[in-house]
Structure 1
Amino acid sequence: MNRKSRILKMLTKTGLVVLAIVFCYPVLFLLTGSFMGQSELSENLGSVMGEATRYARWNFLPQNPTLKHYIEVLLDSPEYFVMFWNSIKVVLGTLVGQCIIAIPAAWGFAVYKFKFKKSLFFLYIIIMMMPFQVTMLSNYLILKQLKLLDTLASLIFPGIFSTFPVFIMFNFFRGIPPAVIEAARIDGAREWDIFLKIGIPLGKGGIIASLVLEFLEYWNLIEQPMTFLDDKTKWPLSLFLPTIRGENVGFAFAVSIITLIPAALVFFAGHEYLEQGIASLGVKE
């Protein structure tokens, strides 16, 4: 490797490290603030909270670290745990439903030939690209007719029939060689056995990738619960932060960090499959 290549490689690595620090800084900001006392937070962020006229400042390390805010969240905030379990119910219900609906649907699109297949899949893609604001009214009217409004089912039910996981799993199932499936049929395997013993194992990457992405999406729902839920005791954890008063900054920081932990664990556990899933989105029909 010549000198020019070494310099270019070193500059590339330096640039990537700088970008990583920039992208990680908001999390480090929250983490540091969650261990600061209220007086230190007021001193640093007084101008932001309207308590001072000087510029805001920040310390990379808290001067007097404290666990007060975490204790307040975990021991003195029962509403936090109510919303936490609401989020768990919504996410698990949605993911289980997607496993039941989306996996067979993606397998059907990838393996079988039937009339209007391309037109139907094109419709799936169109629906997938529509933002929530476009489908909000139709979803509201359907949920109202089904008498699911103001229940956690109003968040779970639309998520079960989401088209996004079908699209990701389809790209993985489509990568299974047709010769493998045909050989199994010749050997007398039933379609259900082919799906369970060939499709699921070989499409595992797409299934896990879609579940990770959907977990991250439904763990952070904002607009749907605000639209479909009136009873605040049924709100998910994603709506807990907006209810915190602005002056209680340390408490908000601690809530943010605790809320981030499950999403971070899921992301790091499935990041390899997640990369495969994102890469599959670029595969053309």
Structure 2
Amino acid sequence: MQTNIRKICLFSLAIFFLMPAVLVLSGTIISRYELEQCLAPLTAGAGEFIAWKFFPRYPTFEHYGRILFYTPQFFVVFWNSMKIVVLVLAGQLLLAVPAAWAFAVYRFRFRNVLFTLYVVLMLMPFQVTMLSNYLVLDGLHLINTHGAIIFPAIFSTFPVFLIYRGFCALPESIIDAARVDGAGEWTIFWRIGLPLASNGILSAMVLGFLEYWNLMEQPLAFLEDKSLWPLSLYLPEISLDQAGYSFVASVITLIPPVFVFLIGQEYLERGIVASALKE
């Protein structure tokens, strides 16, 4: 009995949290005329409630056709987002993984102090470091380029911390045994460290994709040219009289994060669990 009640409660909560997504999906196939009727109280400011239709009387795909075939600027900002995310994640793989391995495996001077500094930097919000970032990027002549978004993100401390926790879960006896057998440090890192800590690395990549796909503050602060904006800044530019167009853009924006999350969900769960098992 309790199990059935629990399932009903979880199912009800799932429906509740899925309602915004269902609303957006239904808005993509509602005609412009019906949308004007549904959103009339909102546009008129009369204080009345919106009468929404989850399934329209006359479904249409005109909004999809408009954004996919007649809006080239949408694809510009879409590929801007893809470029930023892919380059950031590639850079983090090249820098964060070796850094995390060094913190987890090697004992060097000021190791704890340096790692504590990493944690402090990870906890600092963007508003605190925005001015210093701007001054550095301006000195490097990177303002109003994608490099202003990519390079600070590559040196983010969060993936180092998350991957470090995964490397810490590796038994030291395995590493010592490999050294006794004559394996070099690069061989140990490549053949033992990376495969055994792959869950932590992949979970950091999944979280990184979800974070950098939705960036808003950094592009607003460092990008003046709107043609360089990512997709996360394009949606607020859509006016209310283009509601159907906005719904379709929102759905297309959601597809890559949902796809990445579904593929990496298992690795994300394993990585988070493994990072919490051992200091």
TM-score between the two structures when normalised by the length of structure 1? 0.95
- 1:281 deviates by 5.5
Q: What is residue 96 of structure 2 aligned with on the other side?
A: 102
Q: Does 1:40 align with 2:34?
A: yes
Paired AA for residue 121 in structure 1:
F
Q: Does 1:57 align with 2:64?
A: no
Q: Does 1:118 align with 2:112?
A: yes
Q: State how far apart, in whole Å, the 2-side matches of 1:50 and 1:120 are.
A: 57
**SS, match of residue 115 in structure 1:** coil
Q: Give structure 1 stretches of 5+ with no counterpart.
A: 1-6
Equivalent of residue 14 in structure 1, options 8, 20, 25: 8
Q: Cα deviation per residue 1:5-56 (whole Å; 9 max; x = unaligned)?
A: xx21111111111111111111111001111111111111211122766421
Q: Is the CA contact (8 Å cut-off) linking 1:42 and 1:51 kept in structure 2? A: no
Q: What is residue 177 of structure 1 aligned with on the other side?
A: 171
Q: Is the CA contact (8 Å cut-off) linking 2:67 and 2:248 kept in structure 1? A: yes
Q: Does 1:140 align with 2:137?
A: no
Q: State how far apart, in whole Å, the 2-side matches of 1:281 and 1:247 are.
A: 47
Q: State how far apart, in whole Å, the 2-side matches of 1:146 and 1:53 are.
A: 51
Q: Is the CA contact (8 Å cut-off) linking 2:166 and 2:275 kept in structure 1? A: no
How many residue pairs get matched? Answer: 279
Q: State how far apart, in whole Å, the 2-side matches of 1:281 and 1:62 are.
A: 47
Q: State how far apart, in whole Å, the 1-side matches of 2:183 and 2:271 are.
A: 29
Paired AA for residue 160 in structure 1:
I
Q: Give structure 2 stretches of 5+ with no counterpart.
A: none
Cα distance change of structure 1 residues 281 and 246 upon mapping to structure 2, 3 Å threshold: farther
Paired AA for residue 88 in structure 1:
M
Q: Among the aligned pairs, what percent are the same residue?
A: 49
Q: What is residue 236 of structure 1 aligned with on the other side?
A: 230
- 1:278 deviates by 3.3
Q: Is the CA contact (8 Å cut-off) linking 1:84 and 1:236 kept in structure 2? A: yes
Q: State how far apart, in whole Å, the 2-side matches of 1:125 and 1:78 are.
A: 42
Q: Does 1:254 align with 2:248?
A: yes
Q: Does 1:218 align with 2:212?
A: yes
Q: State how far apart, in whole Å, the 2-side matches of 1:279 and 1:42 are.
A: 48
Q: Is the CA contact (8 Å cut-off) linking 1:87 and 1:219 kept in structure 2? A: yes
- 1:60 deviates by 2.0
- 1:219 deviates by 0.6
Paired AA for residue 215 in structure 2:
L
- 1:57 deviates by 1.5
The root-mean-square deviation of aligned C-alpha atoms, in Å, is 1.3
Paired AA for residue 238 in structure 2:
I
- 1:279 deviates by 3.2
**SS, match of residue 272 in structure 2:** helix
- Listed as ranges, the matches of 1:82-93 within 5 Å are 82-93=76-87
Q: Does 1:188 align with 2:182?
A: yes
Q: Is the CA contact (8 Å cut-off) linking 1:168 and 1:280 kept in structure 2? A: no
**SS, match of residue 49 in structure 1:** helix
Q: State how far apart, in whole Å, the 1-side matches of 2:277 and 2:30 are.
A: 47
**SS, match of residue 43 in structure 2:** coil
Q: Is the CA contact (8 Å cut-off) linking 2:42 and 2:48 kept in structure 1? A: no
